[in-house]
Structure 1
């Protein structure tokens, strides 16, 4: 029988065949869900990293000493414009040591499209045409997280995303699109949208509620002249008005845009405050019901929105009143994808805008391997994917939020 580590490695290999190894969907799901005894070796180095599009970059890694820590977590840190992973790694190794988290610092690549450039133009000058983070997609930040889970065996419920400057903009945006991936996020001198400096960014305003109850520790220098502190204040005020339960905001009075000006050095009061805040953080359990807005195909938990209508933010309400019952109300998307796991039983019903479909359960070991490969996260592993067209009869359309916004 394979060990959990061998099962993870097999799923990471696209050429592998779990069925040929004598595994069925239930057996593989169980193996991937097992947490092995803790224990690891400390090391620091740079390794190659590949994203889903086949692009390559460098990943600077620091794995702390295991003494005093039961489980290894992951702290993914995204650098700012003009930086690289090896440059930012030393600034956060002390935090990783304190928390028992591997620090993972990928280096950004040239954007696959021009959509990011519009977000960074006018703030970083000509540097916005250089390597940058994909604000809307699953590229190197997700690849780093996937690598940590598959190779280092980090606890998937102790993964934190942090970013500085351009990396903080990406951190905000990834939190709005993939809130179920992280235990917490820490944007430093960033904002959800630079368009807010010129007026309301309605698309970002529509996506910001996706953060849900994901814990945030926001740091911004009051004297920052590159990314105005007003943008961070506005986002924080919006989330607090929505009743966010775990939002910490620190505005450094003399802090400027440079990370060194914020007083985050090891042992400083802000370092100690951040470390104490992060220490107990674990990813929240999957909720019984949730809402999700999408400006591009995507989703959280067991729901994905596909075939979005042009120039519109899709909105969905999703609930699971029983293990074998799924309810979706959606506008702005023509298809929904429901991911079923081993806990759904044999008779499943999916209601989309009031139209109920009975689903014949067909567990597939290949689907288990494929869905695990995407994130190396047992929680996102499914043994069957059901794609349903959204009926024409739909709930009342939400207020149009597509007039203006960052072009994702």
Structure 2
């Protein structure tokens, strides 16, 4: 039986291979959902990961595997280390990417994780890259839907390194920057900052505005973004990032930086980013070191093209109409009342947790139609939600699915 468990011990127990056994042990110790949540969200660090450089086998949610190069700094500074997921470009690899940025681990007090891309089978993901990289159409690439190695690397950092979930960063170069833009727009609630380098939102921008991808840009408003691009890049024109930055500025993005490097081409070396004492590298490191994820918001606005990225924080949409851009606006008016407005989707999900909502009756309005929801915190659901992402901010103790009224289903 557990005696006076600390947060690290409980996190480790809940990540183990026997969730039923963990739940039984917690129940016999007298833990209800509220007590378990307090421990899973606790800040106490564990003993810390072994410092140094290594390569590990990383598995994504579909069972595919790849190599990932990891460098962990020698000791945390006042607590748990963060995590920086770095994504390489076409023809690159995790180990080569890590060799250029290993020193950022000590400088930022983060573990640097560099997975290696593998071929994807979904045609839509290959098309996102073919226009930019031509004959790389069938080459290894990042899956922009999220069911891939970047998010698997993030979860690995939280489970294997006990990384600070509020100091998780994503950055990428070239193809990796395209993935950084798209993963940040879809899963921005999992990161504290994003840094695309010589990237673009979409290959379709070569032929005109990709309105569907650009419709997701408002999702970036809560997330700090630092965009870097060489003004002499001949492979991915800097105008792509200029247009994205201009759009975000027009939306009033509060924490947006943009550096266009004079004479910089497509390679990282041409951007003066790989030298340890390069001014731009120091500027970027200083900016990254100050980034922290904020508290779970009471009001959420999120857009989605499909159900794979329909969730943001405690609200989600699904059953999205074909070719629609679904949008949900949800507000926690009180501990017992929620207002939700949805377009472009037929279903909304509430991911309820006891530190945001009071157990018992909740009054939920979806497009003006009111529902009485009985919130019953469930330790089993809480444990399984932690195992899904190992992210305390995405915990839930009950999932409630509600229909969206027909008169507001249009996109």
For normalisation by structure 1, the TM-score amounts to 0.93
- 1:306 is displaced (CA, Å) by 1.0
Deviating runs (4+, > 4 A) in structure 1?
none
Cα separation, partners in 2 of 1:337 and 1:67, compared to 1, 3 Å: closer
Q: Aligned partners of 1:333, 1:6: CA distance in 2, in Å?
A: 40
Q: Cα distance, 1:37 vs. partner?
A: 3.5
On the 8 A contact 1:81/1:128 being kept in 2, the answer is no
* Distance change (3 Å), C-alpha of 1:21 and 1:39: closer
- 1:366 pairs with 2:366: no
- For residue 288 of structure 2, the aligned residue among 257, 278, 300 is 278
Q: CA deviation at 1:47?
A: 0.9
Segment drifting more, 299-308 vs 125-134: 125-134
> Does residue 77 of the first structure (1) align with residue 86 of the second (2)?
yes
Q: Aligned partners of 1:150, 1:326: CA distance in 2, in Å?
A: 32
Aligned-pair distance for 1:127? 1.9
Counterpart selection for 2:215 from 206, 210, 219:
206
Helix, strand or coil: the match of 1:122? helix
Distance 2:258 2:222 in 1: 15
Q: Which residue number corresponds to residue 30 of structure 1?
A: 38
* Root-mean-square deviation over aligned CA pairs: 1.6
Instruction: Give, in whole Å, the separation in 1 of the partners of 2:200 and 2:78.
Output: 33
The alpha carbon displacement at 1:11 in A equals 3.1
Q: Which moved more, 1:60-69 or 1:360-369?
A: 60-69
* CA distance in 1 between partners of 2:400 and 2:18 (Å): 24
Shift of 1:28: 2.1
The answer to whether the aligner puts 1:140 opposite 2:149 as a matched pair is yes
Partner of 1:36, secondary structure, is coil
- Structure 1 unpaired stretches of 5+: 399-408
What is the 5 A alignment of 1:333-348?
333-343=345-355, 344-346=357-359, 347-348=361-362
Distance 1:171 1:324 in 2: 36
Deviation at 1:375, TM superposition (A): 1.2
1:9 aligns to what? Answer: 12
| Cα pair 1:194 1:227 within 8 Å, conserved | no
In the TM superposition, what is the alpha-carbon distance from 1:67 to its structure 2 partner? 6.3
What is the distance in 2 between the residues matched to 1:338 and 1:57?
34
SS class of match (2:227): strand
User: Is 1:170 the counterpart of 2:173 in the alignment?
Assistant: no
- Give the distance between the partners of 1:70 and 1:3, measured in 2 at CA: 15
TM-aligned CA deviation for residue 80 of structure 1: 0.6
Query: Match of 1:60?
Result: 69
Look up the match of 1:248: 257
1:214-269 per-residue CA deviation (whole Å, 9 max, x = no partner) reads: 10111101111111100000000000111111111011111111111110121110
The structural deviation recorded for 1:204 is 1.1
TM-fit CA distance, 1:39: 5.6
Which of 234, 243, 248 in structure 2 is aligned with 1:239? 248
Partner Cα distance (1:159, 1:22) in 2: 29
Equivalent residue, structure 2, for 1:310: 322
Task: Give, in whole Å, the separation in 2 of the partners of 1:360 and 1:326.
Answer: 13
Give the Cα separation in 2 of the matches to 1:338 and 1:93.
Answer: 40
**Stretch moving more, 205-214 or 22-31:** 22-31
For residues 284-329 of structure 1, give each alpha carbon's deviation from its aligned partner in whole angstroms, at most 9, with x where no partner exists.
2222222211101122010111111111111111111112222111
- Deviation larger for 125-134 or 239-248: 125-134
SS of corresponding position for 1:27: helix
Do the aligned residues in 2 keep the contact of 1:218 with 1:250 (CA within 8 Å)? yes
1:321 maps to which residue? Answer: 333
Give the drift of 1:283. Answer: 0.6
Q: Would you say the 8 A contact 2:84–2:113 is kept in 1?
A: yes
Following TM superposition, by how much is the alpha carbon of 1:164 offset from its aligned partner in structure 2, in angstroms? 0.7
Give the conservation status (yes or no) of the 8 Å contact 1:326–1:351: yes
Q: What is residue 204 of structure 2 aligned with on the other side?
A: 195
Q: Take 1:97 and 1:82, find their aligned partners in 2: how far apart are those partners?
A: 27
Alignment correspondent of 1:405: none
Gap change, CA 1:67 and 1:10, over 3 Å in 2: closer
CA contact (8 A) 2:300 2:312 kept: no
CA contact (8 A) 1:39 1:66 kept: no
- Aligned partner of 1:295 among 295, 305, 311: 305
Q: 1:385 to 1:115 in 2, by over 3 A?
A: same
Which residue in 1 is equivalent to 2:266?
A: 257
